[in-house]
Amino acid sequence: MAAKVAMLDCILQSRGDDVMARLLSVNVGLPRDIPWQGKTVHTAIWKAPVLGRRMVRRLNIDGDGQGDLAGHGGEHRAVFVYQMDSYRFWQSELGRNDFSYGQFGENFTVDGLTDREVCIGDRYRIGSALFEVTQPRVTCYRVGIRMNEPQMAALLVARGRPGFYLRVIEEGEVGAGDEIVQVTAGAERMSVAEIDALLYRPGHPRNELVRALRIPALSAGWRGSFEALLAQEDNGGATGNVGLGPASTPPAWAGFRPLRVSRKVRESSSVMSLELESADQRPLAAALPGQFVVLRLGLARGTPALLRSYSLSGEPSDRCYRISVKHEPHGAASGYIDEGVQIGDVLEVSAPRGSFTLRPGDGPVVLLSAGVGVTPVMAMLHALAAEASPRNIWWLHGARHGREHPFAQEAKAMLEALAHGHRHIRYSAPDPQTGWVRISMPRDIWTWQCCASSTSRAMPISSFAGRRLSSEN
Helix, strand or coil for residue 302? coil
Distance, in Å, from the CA atom of 64 to the CA atom of 325, rounded to the nearest integer, reads: 50
Q: Same CATH topology for 2-196 and 257-349? A: no
First to last CA, the chain: 55
Question: When comparing pLDDT for 252 and 439, which is higher?
Answer: 252
Kindly indicate the confidence band of residue 11, based on its pLDDT and cuts at 50, 70 and 90: very low
Distance, in Å, from the CA atom of 83 to the CA atom of 379, rounded to the nearest integer, reads: 41
Distance, in Å, from the CA atom of 163 to the CA atom of 168, rounded to the nearest integer, reads: 17
Helix, strand or coil for residue 310? strand
What are the backbone dihedrals phi and psi of residue 40, each rounded to the nearest 5 degrees, phi first?
A: -110, 130
Distance, in Å, from the CA atom of 240 to the CA atom of 354, rounded to the nearest integer, reads: 10
How far, in Å, are 292, 311, 398, 465 from residue 289 at the CA level? 9, 9, 20, 28
Using DSSP bridges, classify how beta strands 22-28 and 48-49 pair: parallel, antiparallel or unpaired: antiparallel
- Fold for the domain defined by 2-196: M1 Pyruvate Kinase; Domain 3 (2.40.33)
Helix, strand or coil for residue 320? strand
Name the residue among 74, 107, 66 with its Cα closest to residue 247.
74
Per DSSP, the residues of 424-445 read: EEEESS--TT-EEEE----TT-
Question: When comparing pLDDT for 203 and 284, which is higher?
Answer: 284
Distance, in Å, from the CA atom of 37 to the CA atom of 35, rounded to the nearest integer, reads: 7
Q: What is the pLDDT of residues 173-199, one digit of tens each?
A: 999 999 999 999 999 999 999 999 998
Is residue 202 over pLDDT 90?
no
Model pLDDT, residue 235: 60
- Domain 257-349: give its CATH code: 2.40.30.10
Name the residue among 326, 60, 27, 314 with its Cα closest to residue 168.
60
Q: What is the pLDDT of residues 380-434, one digit of tens each?
A: 999 888 888 888 898 999 888 888 899 999 999 999 888 889 998 888 887 665 4
Domain ranges of the chain: 2-196, 257-349, 365-471
Model pLDDT, residue 465: 35
- Fold for the domain defined by 365-471: Rossmann fold (3.40.50)
Model pLDDT, residue 303: 78
The segment with the largest mean pLDDT, out of 167-181, 250-264, 305-319, is 167-181
